[in-house]
Every structure is written in C-alpha cells, then in structure tokens.
Amino acid sequence: MEVSEEVADALHCGKGVVALESTIITHGMPFPQNLKTALSVEQKVRQFGSTPATIGIVKGKIKVGLSNEELEYLSDPSIEVIKTSRRDFPVVIGEKLNGGTTVSGTMVVAHMAGIKVFVTGGIGGVHRGVEQTMDISADLTELGRTPVVVVSSGVKSILDIGRTLEYLETQGVCVCSYGNSKNFPAFLSPKSGFSAPYNINDPDQAAKIIASHQSLGLDSGMLIAVPITDTYTNLWEEIESNIQTALEEARENNISGREITPYVLSRLNEISQGKSLQAKNNATVGSQIAKSLANYVT
C-alpha cells in the first residue's frame, strides 16, 4: 500500500481525511465526465477543510491518495481495470492488475490506512429480484464488519431500498439520515418512502456520534445518508420507468453479478447527471464531518 505524501501528512497531523472510491471513475461514468467529477469532488473536500484520499489500484499497487496522473490513467476507457470489492484483492494485487475500488473495496483500504470517513455517491444494496438471484452487494456486509463511516446519498432506486435497510439492520450498521428529517433518501429524491432509524443534523453532532462509535470499539461501520438538495427530484418518475426497462434489458442480455450495477446505471443518463451533483454535495458534508471529527478526537 502506498500513501501519498499529502494524505500521510494529514493523517500524521490529525487533520480531517476523506476517502473516495474509484469504481465511480472506472465503472460508473463515461470519460471525460468521470475524471472531471473525480477532480471536482476532491476539490470540494479541500474547500471544506479536509484532505481527499482517492483510493484505487494501479498495476497491483494499492494507492491511498491517487495523483492526478494516476486518476487520468484510471479514467482512460481503453485500459483494463477490474471492479474491485473485498473478494477481488488477491487476484488484482497478485496479478499486478489495475483496480477501481468499490465501496466495499475502498472501506477495506481506508481502514488499513486509518481513515475514518469515506464519501461516495451511492452504495450498493439488495437488488430487486433478490429472491431469485440472491444478489446482495458486498458493500452491505462490509459495512457490517469494517469500522468506517460512509457518507452517501440514499440507496439508488435500481435497488430494493426496504430490503437494503433490513439487511443493514441485520448487519448491525448504524444508519442515520442527514439534515432535518428521518426520511431515508433515494438517490434522486429526498424521500424513498422509508425512514432511517436516526437523524443527524450537523457535522458536530455527527462527530460526537462517530466518536462514541469508535470509543466502543464496535467493528461495524456507519452509514450517513444525505438527501439530494437540487431540482433533479422532478426526474423521479421518468427514471423509475427507465429503471424497469434497463432491468428487463439486463435480464434479456443475461447480465448479472458484478456487471449488473454498471450496466443498469449506464442506461440511465439522468442518473449520471445527478451523480456528479450528489458526489459533490456528499463531499461537502463528509469533509465537514471529517474536520469536526478530527477536532473531537484530538
């Protein structure tokens, strides 16, 4: 594992550090939007007082704090990159391949590096049709076993949101909505029809709760769900019908396993616009939380 100088310094000085994933770059968005979004998310983290640490794997080396050149390299659609969750590390590292780390993969590395807060757009969840496929994202079990706080928008509506929340409860994950309501957000809507068990109102309250989570030594993670703040909400109904179409298409084309999330998302252009907006909004909140946590813990 190689930690960049900037990130190592920030960790050493007890500054706020925010981990960022790279699957969103390698398997989440088309070029050049992927690179642009990655850079502007890092910029947001800096603007609100913490240090960004984008995590990924370059030629078998785990990087904590990818340089701009490395970000450019991984963004290039012509190079081969493996979508890397916990299960994929042995092969990606052993065979010296490139890896875009998912939420699960990024949590594994963030924890190794001592980073407590991780910001992303949306996490994986229980897929619709789980009764047939048993497709439950490794992100959920990772949240159950790795003590990292994940700040994300609500779960995408390509997933089964109710079952995702049930599964997080089973895994012992503390789930909190962020802002002024207990509504658990869906990715492009402030409401999913489900409630989060807890609500957090500001960075200081988040830091206080995270600090007590840490002092108890619970091995599980936490999920802080930030609702959308913008006007994409009105795309909601249109997106729902597009999701149905994309899921049917995926079934007809026998797309399953780790290919399903990137496939369905690539069929939904509206989500792609919402995505960079959400990532930036979450980066703002996550940076403030990490900064506040740094003060709290010292």
Contact residues for ligand PSU (CB under 6 A)?
21, 23-24, 27-28, 102-104, 121-124, 137-139, 156, 258, 261, 265
Catalytic annotation on 21? yes
Report how far Cα 219 is from the mean position of its chain's Cα atoms.
19
Binding mask 117-136 for Mn ion (x = CB under 5 A): ------------------x-
Identified catalytic residue from 21, 42, 70, 142: 21
**Residue 21 contacts which entry, Mn ion, ligand PSU, none (Cβ below 5-8 A, type-dependent):** ligand PSU
**Packed helices 68-75 and 33-47: angle between N→C axes, nearest 10 degrees:** 150
Contact (Cβ atoms closer than 8 angstroms) between residue 86 and residue 1:
no
Report yes or no: 51 and 15 within 8 Å, Cβ to Cβ: yes
CA 109 and chain centroid, separation = 13
Q: Which does 156 bind (CB under 5 to 8 A by kind): Mn ion, ligand PSU, none?
A: ligand PSU
Using CB under 5 A as the binding rule, whether residue 142 contacts Mn ion is answered as: no
The distance of closest approach from Cβ of residue 105 to Mn ion in the complex, given in angstroms and rounded to an integer, is 13
Write b or e for each residue in 253-288: b if 16 or more Cβ atoms lie within 10 A of its Cβ, otherwise e: eeeeebebbbbbbebbeebbebbbbbbbbbbbbbbb
Q: 138 contacts which partner out of ligand PSU, Mn ion, none, CB within 5 to 8 A by kind?
A: ligand PSU
Instruction: Give the containing element (helix H, strand E) for 101.
Output: strand 99-101
- Amino acid, single-letter form, for residue 82: I
Q: Which of ligand PSU, Mn ion, none has residue 24 at its interface (CB below 5 to 8 Å by kind)?
A: ligand PSU
Of the pair 137, 281, the CB lying nearest ligand PSU is at 137
Residue 156 known to be catalytic: yes
Site for Mn ion in 19-48 (CB under 5 A): none
- Residue closer to ligand PSU by CB (options 49, 262) is 262
Indicate the burial class of 30 (C-beta count within 10 angstroms; 0-12, 13-18, 19 or more): exposed
Task: Write down the catalytic residue from 44, 116, 156, 291.
Answer: 156
Quote the crossing angle between the two packed helices 269-297 and 203-215, to the nearest 10°: 70
Q: How far is the CB of 21 from Mn ion (least distance, A)?
A: 16
Q: Which residues bind Mn ion (CB under 5 A)?
A: 135
What positions carry a catalytic annotation? 21, 156
